[in-house]
Amino acid sequence: MSSVRVGMIGYKFMGKAHSNAYRSVPMFFPQAVKPEMSVICGRDPKGVKEAQEQFGWQESVTDWRELVTREDIDLIDINAPSDVHKEIAIAAAQAGKHIFCEKPLALNLKDSREMLEAAETAGIKHMIGFNYRFSPAVQLAKDLVESGRLGKIYHFRANFLQDWILDPEFPLVWRLQKEIAGSGSHGDLGAHLIDMARYLVGEFTEVIGMSETFIKERPIASEMTGLTAKGNSNTEKGPVTVDDATLFLARFESGAIGSFEATRFAAGHRSTNSFEINGSLGSVKFDFERMNELEVYFVNDAEDVQGFRRVMATDGVHKYAEAWWPTGHPIGFDHTFTHEVVEFMNAIEEDRQPVPNFHDGVACQAVLEAVERSVEERRWVTLSEMAED
């Protein structure tokens, strides 16, 4: 197989990031199977046509149902709004297409499971867009854990802190409405933390959480987009139906314990996506705002020179780094998506499931919902309880 023909549904923020990734693979990872930018799909004919030209797709269409059955398409990329993921994914799976679905997999656990089942039944390759895994510094953290260099893991603590809705006059965009977004900071930001925890520390056993919506009502937006909104003179307000912040504590199968916080009310934090792992032999710290760096500590370093090392994960030895620039030259947010696509292309070539895939999407959703249930019922909720639902 020399190329994979992609049909992509959605063309906003994530559509742009994915398009850039498809474009970049052949240039920076020429050994990988080439993703062909065949068809882009969106509801608005004018908008999708513009995106087609701007992003470099061969064709644009408006009907995703038709797209997912086209014979000249091998892979469906879903970055449309979360509430339509399920329907598209199941149709694509049934049509035998590989699927690259943005997170969250679906709005709830039940839907996620149906998607996974459809994908497994169809025998297709499926992937979910937890892009932060693909920072070389995170890959290094993974390698340190896997190789045992951090020893037995005791602690995982992670925060995803933003401040974009701190202003009470910031309008009621779709991300603040439960029926469209499914969840607030928890599903949007916390999901990334949960995935990172599962990737690095393993499965959760139980959780207990706390949520808060600090600003209960906001001006109704005249035009709603993802992270921004057109200002308006509208003084009418509507209710915010998602969480502004969600925190939770957790236990893992391995015996490790964890602490998680996702908030959009942390003044000064544009997008601090950070975690720390403490093991019996060492620790690592990561903050996506300095995504090229991993801080690493080893218990067995010589006694007088023990300390966290600031490792730039840009050396040839670091995963994905050699494809880019000389050592010490930073890469950015967009490069994580390119690495994601490389993983998917490699998985197709090697006839294996890419990682992370729909299993990870389901598992993440189970933790998200366990936390939500623990918030509602004010009690610890086990993951086995979720499994029995």
**Which is closer to its own copies, CB of 250 or CB of 363?**
250
Nearest distance, CB of residue 92 and its own copies, angstroms: 25
What Å distances lie between residue 180 and 20, 229, 340, CA to CA? Answer: 26, 16, 26
**Which is closer to its own copies, CB of 95 or CB of 224?**
224
Length of the chain, in residues: 389
Which tokens belong to 145?
């854990």
Secondary structure class of 43 (helix, strand, coil): coil
**Which is closer to its own copies, CB of 245 or CB of 363?**
245
**Residue 98, C-beta contacts closer than 8 angstroms, at least 6 positions apart:** 4, 74, 75, 76, 124, 125, 126, 127, 344, 348
Nearest distance, CB of residue 98 and its own copies, angstroms: 24
Nearest distance, CB of residue 127 and its own copies, angstroms: 21
Residue type, 372: E
**Which is closer to its own copies, CB of 97 or CB of 157?**
157
Nearest distance, CB of residue 331 and its own copies, angstroms: 4
- In DSSP terms, 251 is beta-bridged to 206, 257
DSSP per-residue codes, 217-285: EEEBPSSB-SS-B-------EEE--S-SEEEEEEEETTS-EEEEEEES--TT-SSEEEEEEEESSEEEE
- In DSSP terms, 281 is beta-bridged to none
Pairing mode, strands 217-219 and 204-212: unpaired
Nearest distance, CB of residue 195 and its own copies, angstroms: 17
Quick one: 379 exposed, middle or buried, by C-beta within 10 A (0-12, 13-18, 19+)? exposed
Q: Which long-range contacts (CB under 8 A, 24 or more apart) does 226-230 make?
A: 226/12, 226/13, 226/173, 226/174, 226/175, 227/13, 227/164, 227/173, 227/175, 228/173, 229/170, 229/171, 229/173
Nearest distance, CB of residue 106 and its own copies, angstroms: 23
Nearest distance, CB of residue 18 and its own copies, angstroms: 12
Q: How many CB atoms lie within 10 A of CB 310?
A: 11
**Which is closer to its own copies, CB of 117 or CB of 163?**
163
**Which is closer to its own copies, CB of 94 or CB of 382?**
382
CA-only gyration radius of the chain, Å: 21
Nearest distance, CB of residue 9 and its own copies, angstroms: 19
**Which is closer to its own copies, CB of 117 or CB of 315?**
315
**Which is closer to its own copies, CB of 70 or CB of 251?**
251
Secondary structure class of 52 (helix, strand, coil): helix
Phi-psi region of 383 (alpha: psi -120 to 50; beta: other; left: phi over 0): alpha
**Which is closer to its own copies, CB of 91 or CB of 166?**
166
Which tokens belong to 166?
């701190």
Residue 284 backbone phi and psi in degrees, to 5: -135, 150
